[in-house]
Amino acid sequence: MHIPVLVEEVIKYLDPQPGENFIDGTCGAAGHALAILEKNYPDGKVMCFDWDSESLDRAKKIVADKDGKLLERTIFINDSYANLKKSIIENNFNSVNGILLDLGFSSDQLEASGRGFSFLKDEPLDMRYSLANNLPAREIINHWQKDEIEKILKEYGEEPWARKISEAIISFRKVKIILTTKELLGVISAAIPQKFQHARIHFATRTFQALRIAVNDELGNLQRFLPEAIDILASGGRIAVISFHSLEDRIVKNFFRESAKAGQGKVLTKKPIIAGEAEVQINLRSRSAKLRIFKKA
């Protein structure tokens, strides 16, 4: 079961009040959305975005099972959070008091999507959040040039064996196209010396992460989202972003800092908020979470 991270901290800083409206840009299993809905009762609303239609359907069921009346205060949008402003206009969702973006990967998607997000399962090499996206991971692996694949692994995965892995991919695909996670895992394993395959982080983690980020243009979507988020926020509204990757955190940190310099508001977190020891023990994935908050002037 997916466990949302830093819930208490998110609620503390977003400070939802009765009647206020909020946006959850990455709905996932609706854990954060439900926490907000408890605070903005009786007539505050939450607009929940998720690019993955299956994930969004699961979130609807979770909210309905919690309390059917909560559905009346929840708007579900099957789209990328990068298209925030368009959906706000189309749904006449005015006076937005807070926005949350949890960039963590849902464990539900790992377990139930069947799209090859995890190297622990043998699934088609896809990795698309939305099937409307025409760039599955197998396209990159089987058709992109070695230098392009190496760049993805270096920049998005910070993979020290990027060159060796990209060379192994090119060599393998000359014999057979790579269509499954199991096949890709085998290629990665062959490229990395055995003595380096027993670190704390699984040796395939960085490659799979890099491909997922590239397939879904995650960093580009984040860069498009942030200025739109500030634009649609009401005065005094707050943006909370939880990142799990150093590149994501750097984008958020720099954007908040530059926005503060431009007089658009102030950064409420000089340093990112991280999970405490108790939360990490319950939810191991929270150990890499970093929360930053910005308040609009």
Mean pLDDT, residues 194-203: 90
Is 128 within a domain? no
Q: What is the largest CA-CA distance in the chain?
A: 62
**Residues 103, 222 within the same domain:** yes
State residue 2's pLDDT score: 66
Of 189, 215, 241, the residue at which a domain comes to its end is: 215
Residue 200's pLDDT band (cuts 50, 70, 90): confident
Q: 12 with 118: CB under 8 angstroms?
A: no
pLDDT at 201: 87
Written as one letter, the residue type at 27 is C
Q: Look at residue 283 in the predicted model and tell me its pLDDT.
A: 84
CATH number of the domain enclosing 284: 3.40.50.150
The whole-number pLDDT of residue 257 equals 98
The pair of structure tokens assigned to 110 is: 């790992």
Contact, 63 vs 29, CB < 8 A? no
Q: What's the pLDDT at 189?
A: 97
Is residue 199 located within the same domain as residue 225? Answer: no
Does residue 3 have a pLDDT over 90? Answer: no
Give me the amino acid identity at 294: F
Gap between the Cα atoms of 103 and 114, Å rounded: 20
- Is residue 281 located within the same domain as residue 145? no
Rounded Cα distance, 142 and 41, in Å: 51
| φ/ψ of residue 2, rounded to 5 | -75, 130
Question: 83-123: per-residue pLDDT in tens?
Answer: 999 999 999 998 999 999 999 876 666 666 789 999 999 99
Point out the domain boundary residue: 188, 215, 242: 215
pLDDT digits over 120-167, tens only?
Answer: 999 999 999 988 999 999 999 999 999 999 999 999 999 999 999 999
CB 275 within 8 A of CB 5: yes
Token digits for 231? 């634009």
**Strands ordered across the beta sheet of 265-267:** 74-77, 46-49, 21-24, 96-102, 233-243, 290-296, 265-267
Would you tell me the crossing angle of helices 162-173 and 146-157 to the nearest 10 degrees? 140
- The tokens for 92 are 């006449």
Q: Are 160 and 201 in contact (CB under 8 A)?
A: no
Query: What letters, b where the CB count within 10 A reaches 16 and e where it falls short, cover 151-179?
Result: bbbbebbebebbbbbbebbbebeeeeebe
Mean pLDDT for the stretch of residues 270-295: 92
Confidence category of residue 285, pLDDT binned at 50, 70, 90: confident
| Secondary structure in 3-state letters for 167-179 | HHHHHHHCCCCCC
Please indicate, yes or no, whether residues 146 and 272 belong to a single structural domain of this protein.
no
Number of domains the chain contains = 2
Domain boundary among 215, 248, 270: 215
61 belongs to a structural domain: yes
Would 119 be classed as within a structural domain? no
Buried b (16+ CB within 10 A) or exposed e, 39-71: ebeeebbbbbbbbbebbbebbbebbeeeeeebe
Q: Let me know whether 22 and 103 are in one domain.
A: yes
Say yes or no: 142 and 167 in one domain: yes
Residue 166 is part of which domain span?
134-215
Q: Alpha carbon of 16 to those of 32, 66, 187: distances in Å?
A: 12, 19, 48
